[in-house]
Amino acid sequence: MSLLERIQKKDCKVGIIGLGYVGLPLAVELARAGFHVTGFDVDAWKVGELSAGRSYIPDVPTADLARVVESGHFAATMDMSALAEMDCIDIAVPTPLRKTKDPDMSYIVQAVEAVKQHLRKGQLVSLESTTYPGTTDELVKPMLEETGLKAGQDFYLAFSPERVDPANPQYLTKDIPKVVGGIDKASTELACALYGAVVTKTVPVSSTVVAEMAKLLENTFRSVNIGMVNELALMCHRMGIDVWEVIDAAGTKPFGFMPFYPGPGLGGHCIPIDPFYLSWKARQSGFEARFIELAGQVNGSMPEWVVTRVSDALNTVKKAVNGSRIHVYGVAYKRNVGDMRESPALDVIEHLIRRGATVTYSDPYVPSFKTDGHTFSAISPAEALAARPDCVIITTDHDAFDYNELVQKAALIMDTRNALRSFDGAHIFRL
């Protein structure tokens, strides 16, 4: 029986390398569809939790995970030798940036190295990690072919970018169309068959490079537009115009406009990082992506601008940042999640500390964290407000926060998310 027939009959073994926000939801969806799935991760704690049927990802209910573990359709392991038993292997590992803003490919290299050691004829290998155009053809393929096996002849190879939006109940893994590009027609067909078993739609494209570039376009589009509206926020502040009202008014146009909103900076694993992957690759080709890099500079400057606005607020009551007690509402990168990857709140806190402020925070999703050599533990908003901080900053607008209480009890508020849009008061300052 061919691999395609086995995928169609769900009579094949699927391995997922990387069990985070991308890999785990995909693994559970495949297991729920009837595939026998093995999740691979180097984190012993994650493997232990999953083996016990406990989910640490909000988008994966523990009940769903427990069912596929109990049925035998999903298992987690740190033993990479089990990759030899897999018919299809999906790589979903992080792709961070180095401090120099160059791509850090170490996680992909580590995962591909593990696959290479156990690669056999007839396997399908698919990369999901967001990366620069050319990664699959220029890095993954040559590494795997060091085994003597040839891609497209002895094994199949594809790229299909993840499109996960954590904590978005409207678009879960199964609801998001899957772009798929293989190194050849057979690889594309096999990857589409595998993903098509669990997602509503697959979108085959002509090559891995097109699929890689499509993902970078999606996130660069957001980065550039957020950068534009962040710059507009700075402009409107200088001109005495309410940027939030401007965006709401422009948003009433039923065509030709898509609203984006300013904030304290970009967070998450994709939008703050992916544009730099693209601009880095462009430089390798002798092209300077000035527009993209300018947006990155604007977005990267927003945390410091927030601290400047906090300083403005404190000046109205004849106080300085130095020596002030400042409480931060929310340190996750977006509302209603505990994900702190690239969170702008961390940069805001670091700027405040360097200016001499004493900082505390509340976040129902993040009990503690470390940054810049400091360890923080969350306190409740009630406890924080009872201590009468000099200023409160809303950096993440979680639904769990009681904004009525905040407006009533806080002396000064810096609202970076327009969470207090329905409130007025001289003690409320906006971005």
Q: Residue 282: CA atoms inside 13 Å, Cβ hemisphere, count?
A: 16
If you write DSSP's letter for every residue of 195-244 in order, what string do you get? HHTTSS-EEE-S-HHHHHHHHHHHHHHHHHHHHHHHHHHHHHHHHT--HH
Amino acid at 70: E
CA distance 430 to 264: 11
CA distance 287 to 415: 39
User: Which residues make beta-bridge pairs with 391?
Assistant: 326
Among the listed residues 12, 192, 236, 270, the single catalytic one is: 270
Q: Which two tokens stand for residue 270?
A: 């994709």
Q: Do residues 281 and 134 make contact, with C-beta atoms less than 8 angstroms apart? A: yes
Expressed in angstroms, the distance from the first to the final Cα of the chain is 61
Q: Is 192 a catalytic residue?
A: no
Q: Which two tokens stand for residue 321?
A: 């940042």
The 3-state DSSP class for residue 129 equals coil
| Helix 62-70 / helix 44-51 crossing angle, nearest 10 deg | 80
Class of residue 267 by CB neighbours under 10 A (exposed 0-12, middle 13-18, buried 19+): buried
Q: Taking the CB of residue 92, how many other CB atoms lie within 10 A of it?
A: 26
Matching residue, tokens 């908003």: 381
Q: Do residues 53 and 70 make contact, with C-beta atoms less than 8 angstroms apart? A: yes
Alpha-carbon torsion 176, 182, 184, 190, what sign? negative
Closest CA to 208 of 273, 149, 126, 264: 126
If you write DSSP's letter for every residue of 360-410 in order, what string do you get? EEE-TT-SEEEETTEEEE---HHHHHHT--SEEEESS--TTS-HHHHHHH-
The 3-state DSSP class for residue 426 equals coil
Amino acid at 38: T
By annotation, the residues acting in catalysis are 270
